[in-house]
Amino acid sequence: MGPALRREGAPAPFSACSRAPTDQQCHSVDSNFGGRTLNSMREKSSDSHEKASVTRRTFLGTTLVTGAAFFARGSDAIFGAELSPNVAANPTWKLGGDLTVNRLGFGAMRITGEGIWGWPPDRGNALKVLKRAVELGVNLIDTADAYGPKTSELLIAEALYPYPKDLVIATKGGLTRPGRGEWVPDGRPEHLKQAVDDSLRRLRLERIDVYQLHCIDPKVPMEESLGAIKEMKDAGKIRHVGLSNVEPEEIERARKIVPIVSVQNRYNIEDRKSEKALVYCEKNGLGFLPWFPIGGTRGLKPENALNAAAKAHGVSVFQVALAWLLERSPVMLPIPGTSSLTHLEENVAAAKLQLTPEEWKAINALAS
């Protein structure tokens, strides 16, 4: 998922299991962080960052501030509530109660090739981005065996192994890539067990910190898919289990099979269809990883609260979007992804951005 943040996130829900991204969607994910104007974020991606009226730096800074404010307020805050930003006061979250992570992580989908397929055109740069993320204090990296496929996991190991003691790697399985542009769910127990072993080998791990079911396979009962993951957890190959692209009812069902520590759904300022899932996570102490966190705002007027906040703080609208997410909820763990060192540093800097309560409220109202 989930761009500088699913992204890393993908611009639209997956199509295969109603949630898998197309090549065009995946391509636009990272482009959204490339310095576009807010109004063009949902349009066809472009590598041109110079034409943006508001820089990516501005956007990211603003969003982080808002997220912080919500966190300071606590999990009792609700959608649309007025919050006072202070991300610095609550910079970390404990996944599963024992894995302390900085709330702004890194999504490793965009370090692969075009269309999330194959090796990146500049492998050395991809390795530099991963190493720099850790140097900047990122200790939560999200990936999946479908990214590449396999490429993202291999690059993470190549760049970072042996891993820092506090680094948490969360990967996903259950969504396959039979061909370029194809995303096909496979929740069969035998596939998932093999997928876990394969991810362990590629990442050079003895145990995966957080293993997420990438997508519920409509052809396989959830109980069977998660039952297989539970077996791997009981065997010591998985520390914690997470879900992706799910509704509250599915989270509830899943928790009856195996303890769940996190949910990764599409969520951003304009697209809050997963609001109920977020609220569920808040009430039950689960981490929420928003993919496509920057989102699209094609329907907004040029003069809007996001652009205004970005201009006021001298940051990009992307930073503002990240700040908003951090303030929205204490369980929010944005994982912006990028293949650019510059954008990576902008994303991380966004964690220190602080929006005023008035700015957060005005941005929050954009979806109403």
State yes or no: is 211 an active-site residue.
no
Phi, psi of 150, rounded to the nearest 5 degrees:
75, -25
Residue where the block lists tokens 């949630």:
19
- Check 147, 211, 267, 280 and give the catalytic one: 147
Q: Is the pLDDT of residue 300 over 90?
A: no
pLDDT at 368: 58
Phi, psi of 22, rounded to the nearest 5 degrees:
-85, 170
Q: Which two tokens stand for residue 317?
A: 């609208």
> What's the CATH code of the domain at 173?
3.20.20.100
In a domain, 2, yes or no: no
pLDDT grade for 136, boundaries at 50, 70 and 90: very high
Looking at per-residue confidence, does 319 or 367 come out higher? 319
Instruction: Share the mean pLDDT of the chain.
Output: 80
pLDDT grade for 35, boundaries at 50, 70 and 90: very low
In a domain, 9, yes or no: no
Q: Is the pLDDT of residue 15 over 90?
A: no
Q: Give the mean pLDDT of 185-197.
A: 98
Cα gap 347→13, rounded to integer Å: 23
Domain around 236: 16-367
In a domain, 320, yes or no: yes
* Residue environment code for 187-224, b if the CB has 16+ CB neighbours within 10 A, otherwise e: bbbebbbebbeebbebbebeebbbbbbbbbbeebebee
Residues in a beta bridge with 172: 212
Q: Is the pLDDT of residue 37 over 60?
A: no
In a domain, 3, yes or no: no
Convert the pLDDT of each residue in 253-282 to its tens digit.
Answer: 999 999 999 999 999 888 899 999 999 999
Give the least confident one: 223-237, 274-288, 349-363: 349-363
Supply the pTM of this predicted model.
Answer: 0.79
The number of domains in the chain is: 1
Cα gap 17→243, rounded to integer Å: 14
Convert the pLDDT of each residue in 68-120 to its tens digit.
Answer: 333 333 333 333 333 434 444 589 999 999 999 999 999 999 999 999 999 99
pLDDT at 17: 53
